[in-house]
């Protein structure tokens, strides 16, 4: 069984290569490959496919089969049954909007890293007690954003975060400037309207622009 420490190292290695994590809600399976290609052309090679739509698991399996050079995670995982389903589809990491005892145990027992969602210091401490040191902060901007992350850096010096929820091109630099932010996630890199209209070139441009901030 892969240790939690090793899974933490895996996340650190992943986000040392890219600090952007686009959250993708797939409405049409035909969009999956051109969307992934558009993002990759813009320099974004790590994707989170959410389970907010019925096609999420199928999209993960398709990307793992057809685009093996990309790193594909599963998001909006709400329970153990979904956790096992995304593993079977080939997800290389799992992201949750919140943390439950059930999901934290899945992350301990499973073969891939889990990035549990937290919104408070108390939730963080539940994961922290089990050995988790990497978390998703959600919904980041509503609950304090940059200020909250700065506050967390005091008592939780070895915790690092991927804030999502309200992150945009306008505030991206402020988040990425924080030492305890390893990456940021959001849907602004590939907005639903651009996906629906198959405006792949514009998505590539957005990915490139976000990447320029992330590498500055």
Active site residues: 48, 136
Q: How large is the C-alpha radius of gyration of the chain?
A: 16
25's tokens: 């809600």
Phi, psi of 47 (to 5 degrees): -125, 145
CA distance 26 to 31: 8
Q: Where are the beta strands (DSSP E) in 65-105?
A: 71-75, 93-95
Q: Where are the beta strands (DSSP E) in the chain?
A: 20-24, 46-50, 71-75, 93-95, 114-115, 117-118, 134-137, 160-163, 184-186
65's tokens: 């089969």
């Amino acid at each position: 069984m892969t240790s939690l420490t090793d899974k933490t190292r895996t996340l650190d290695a992943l986000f040392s290569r890219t600090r952007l994590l686009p959250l993708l809600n797939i409405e049409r399976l035909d969009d999956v490959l051109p969307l992934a290609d558009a993002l990759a052309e813009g320099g974004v090679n790590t994707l989170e496919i959410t389970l907010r739509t019925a096609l999420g698991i199928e999209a993960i399996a398709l990307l793992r089969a057809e685009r093996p050079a990309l790193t594909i995670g599963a998001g909006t995982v709400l329970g153990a049954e979904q956790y096992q389903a995304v593993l079977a589809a080939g997800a290389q990491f799992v992201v949750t909007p919140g943390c439950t005892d059930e999901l934290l145990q899945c992350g301990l027992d499973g073969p891939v890293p889990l990035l549990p969602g937290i919104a408070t210091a108390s939730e963080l401490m539940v994961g922290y007690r089990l050995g988790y040191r990497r978390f998703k902060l959600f919904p980041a901007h509503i609950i304090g954003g940059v200020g909250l992350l700065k506050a967390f850096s005091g008592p939780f010096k070895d915790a690092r975060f991927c804030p999502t929820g309200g992150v945009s091109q306008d505030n991206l630099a402020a988040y990425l400037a924080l030492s305890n932010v390893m990456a940021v996630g959001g849907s602004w890199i590939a907005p639903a309207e651009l996906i629906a209209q198959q405006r792949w070139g514009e998505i590539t441009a957005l990915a490139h622009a976000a990447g320029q901030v992330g590498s500055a």
